[in-house]
Amino acid sequence: MKVGLFIPCYIDQFYPQVGIATLQLLEKLGCEVGYPTGQTCCGQPMANSGFEHLTDGCNRLFVNNFADFDYIVAPSGSCVLHVKDHLHVTDKETAATHIREHIYELSEFLTDILKVERLSAKFPHKVGIHQSCHGQRGLHVSQMTELVGPAFSKPQQLLQMVDGLELVTLNRADECCGFGGTFCVFEEAVSVKMGKDRVADHIHNGAEYITGNDVSCLMHMEGILRRQKSNVKVLHIAEILNSEV
Amino acid sequence: MHTPDLKDHAVLAAQFNANEPRVNWHDETLWWVRQKRDRMAWSLPEWEALRDAASAIKHNVLGNLHEYLLEFERNAIANGAAVHWAANAAEHNRIVLQLLQQQGVKRIVKSKSMLTEECHLNPYLAENGIEVIDTDLGERIVQLAKEPPSHIVLPCIHKKKEEIGELFHEHLGTPAGNADPQFLTAAARTHLRTEFLQSRVAITGVNFAVAETGEMVVCTNEGNADMGAHLADMHIACMGIEKLVPQRKHLGVFLRLLARSATGQPITTYSSHFSKPKPGQQLHIVLVDNGRSRQLGRADFRNSLKCIRCGACMNTCPVYRRSGGHSYHNAIAGPIGAILAPNLDMKQYADLPFASTLCGSCSNVCPVKIDIHQQLYKWRQVITEEGQAPASKAAGMKLMAAVLSSPGRYRFAGKAARWLLRTMPGLINNRFNPWYKQRELPEPPATSFAAWYKKNR
């Protein structure tokens, strides 16, 4: 199985440790991982701002870089959802379709494709899960509180395999953190208020770490936590699942 | 970012956020309603099937709207009602005014109707010397405060009980400082009863209209629509053309969904069916288009016409709860307002589809399964294509696209940004950067993942 590693632009530039943990974790689990070095961004920052017509360059690059892999995996539900919903290249539609159908967010790839049942990881801390909206409501990596249906959570399923990790229960299980792409700057006041409220829920319920499957949300909440001089830290789920025993 | 004469959600929301304890109160009040809705949804194992059914029925209605409207008109006329067609808000208002002038009335009662809000009927009638008394308690409160409703189901949800006490003291003569909800409700009841008894014409909205029977259903908790319509010589029912359901049996689906979604009640206290005028009374029905057929023609947005105005998308929306209904500067606020408003005026409401994180909670609570957050995304594209995006934003996006379309430019820009952040953080971390105002930027690492990979693999 050839897995193409997609490391979204802001993770590449600002959170390389998340890329490293994702790569090491996939390798540990026996995947043959390739990282195409010509990759940049999925195009979502433009598209969500109303400029999807400017994403052709990103789409072409994406198809050129990832067409030859059996699966494409990324440590971001949001970027994966964008590719799944919007990747089209007029003269390369077969390749684009293959990518749309075989791109996975890391946690769903581990539970659904690799069918991981145990992990050798240890993280003796209280952890709160931030359910990032695009992974949850877009990719359905976990059940949504609005819907009447059976409970499930792929990230939680994986975190429960980690030795010593204690999950905290939040008052609002799946409320948005307010990052929202360019929303975070164009609607600064509401964005920050949403982030403060999310962070407060984790702190109130005793979390030492906030984890999730989207670095963008975590970056936003980390920015607020650091401004508040809080001891609570954020970690991407890959960093916890890859933590050494 | 917008031209100064245009209202902007971000600016209005920032003003709302100046008072954080109040934002917390607003958020928690509406979250409580959302939780009530969840409990009600979970009380019905067939909840999701009901949503599917409601969505499918409305799909059929929108696909055959022409036939259903004519069927409804035929049956309503046969029942003894007069049917009027209004292409837009101005026509609607003129029709209503004409009817009122015909009756020679100067003061009328109205039960809550978002359509008449959309058409700005009250100010139009006031200009023509007719005073409208809104009889829904929440609606009366915002009317006394000279404010528009901030929520389609809970019009005065932005007001605290103390503020309502003050308003009542000023306008209805209740004792100063009394903010007891029960006392204030009783005072409003007495005040409204006088209005009901004196009013010769009553205007109501319509929740559902049945094509098969020509009847209309109005859902209220206060019985004010019934009180008004039963006591008056003339009942004018104003409805958008999308309010139809094909048959009476379909009401069962919608009445089970509406109040559960809206307020977490099993059903509204009153679900009143109006079909025939009583002897000596006139029943007028005004069917209003006002942009609906244009929206029907927009393949990506026609589903928005399925809306039954429950307000669940507002109660669940984390942005609405923290920005307040007035920040949407439209009769209908929240996520549904943000996909309906640009159809009415794309320039005036160009900001609304961007007042969302696209979290998708709205689509999940919607009882008729409108893909609200996907329509928000699509409106953003349309607004940009129509040239309504601010020039500075368009230039920034072009630059970003140019950088991200080239691996070389991207690597250079990333390296430069990290270097800048490490060596001259003040250039980026300053008061002109909206991110930095209340958040730290990430600590810039020395190398990118790509550089690490090159070295280690």
Structure confidence by residue, pLDDT tens digits, A120-175:
999 999 999 999 999 999 999 999 999 999 999 999 999 999 999 999 999 999 99
Which pLDDT score, from 0 to 100, does residue B403 have? Answer: 97
Say whether B400 and A46 touch across the interface (CB within 8 A).
Answer: yes
Which pLDDT score, from 0 to 100, does residue B1 have? Answer: 46
End-to-end CA distance of chain A, in Å? 27
ipTM of the complex: 0.97
A147 interfacial to chain B (CB closer than 8 Å): yes
pLDDT digits (tens, 9 = 90+) for A19-63: 999 999 999 999 999 999 999 999 999 999 999 999 999 999 999
For residues A77 and A130, the answer to whether their CB atoms sit within 8 Å is no
Burial of B300 from C-beta contacts in 10 A (0-12 / 13-18 / 19+): middle
The residues, ordered by sequence, that sit 6+ positions from B454 with a Cβ below 8 Å of its Cβ are A37
End-to-end CA distance of chain B, in Å? 46
Say whether A13 and B414 touch across the interface (CB within 8 A).
Answer: yes
CA distance B102 to A77: 62
Q: Among all chains, which residue has been given the structure tokens 């964008």? A: A82
Say whether A53 and B385 touch across the interface (CB within 8 A).
Answer: yes
For residues B366 and B325, the answer to whether their CB atoms sit within 8 Å is no
**Chain A stretch 1-40, residues whose beta carbon is closer than 8 A to a beta carbon of chain B:** 7, 9, 11-20, 23, 35, 37-40
Strand A166-167: give its sheet, edge to edge: A166-167, A126-130, A209-212, A233-236
B417 interfacial to chain A (CB closer than 8 Å): yes
A77 interfacial to chain B (CB closer than 8 Å): no
Which pLDDT score, from 0 to 100, does residue B3 have? Answer: 55
Say whether A50 and B383 touch across the interface (CB within 8 A).
Answer: yes
**Helical packing angle, B391-404 and A56-66, nearest 10°:** 20
Residue to mutate among A82, A190, A225, with most B CBs inside 10 A, is: A190
pLDDT digits (tens, 9 = 90+) for B42-51: 999 999 999 9
Token reading at B59? 């799909």
- Closest Cβ–Cβ partner in B410, B418, B442 for A219: B442
For residues B213 and B261, the answer to whether their CB atoms sit within 8 Å is no
Chain B residues within an 8 Å CB radius of A185: 434-435
pTM for the structure as a whole = 0.97
- Closest Cβ–Cβ partner in A16, A148, A179 for B449: A16
- Closest Cβ–Cβ partner in B10, B380, B442 for A49: B380
Which pLDDT score, from 0 to 100, does residue B4 have? Answer: 57
Coil, strand, or helix at residue B68? Answer: helix
Residue to mutate among B39, B352, B357, with most A CBs inside 10 A, is: B357
Say whether B404 and A51 touch across the interface (CB within 8 A).
Answer: no
CA distance B140 to B134: 5
Strand B107-110 versus strand B201-204 pairing type: parallel
Segments of chain B with pLDDT less than 70: 1-4
d(CA A56, nearest CA chain B) in Å: 8
CA distance B319 to B393: 22
DSSP conformation letters of B100-162? HHHHT-SEEEE---HHHHHTTHHHHHHHTT-EEEE-SHHHHHHHHTT---SSSSSTTTTS-HH
CA distance B195 to B198: 5
**Which long-range contacts does A227-231 make (Cβ < 8 Å, 24+ apart)?**
A227/B438, A227/B439, A227/B440, A228/A199, A230/A199, A230/A203
pLDDT digits (tens, 9 = 90+) for A102-115: 999 999 999 999 99
Which pLDDT score, from 0 to 100, does residue B418 have? Answer: 94
DSSP conformation letters of B5-52? TS--HHHHHHHHTTSHHHHHHHHHHHHHHHHHHHHHHHT-TTHHHHHH
B385 interfacial to chain A (CB closer than 8 Å): yes
Q: Which of A32, A37, A35 is nearest to A2 (CA)?
A: A32
CA distance B368 to A233: 40
Say whether B434 and A188 touch across the interface (CB within 8 A).
Answer: yes
Q: Which of A54, A114, A122, A80 is nearest to A215 (CA)?
A: A80
DSSP conformation letters of B285-309? EEEE-TTHHHHHT-TTTGGGGG---
Q: Sign of the CA dihedral B283, B147, B152, B227?
A: negative
CA distances from A219 to A130, A226, A234, B441 (A): 12, 10, 8, 8
CA distance A4 to A73: 6
Chain A residues within an 8 Å CB radius of B16: 189
Which pLDDT score, from 0 to 100, does residue B30 have? Answer: 98
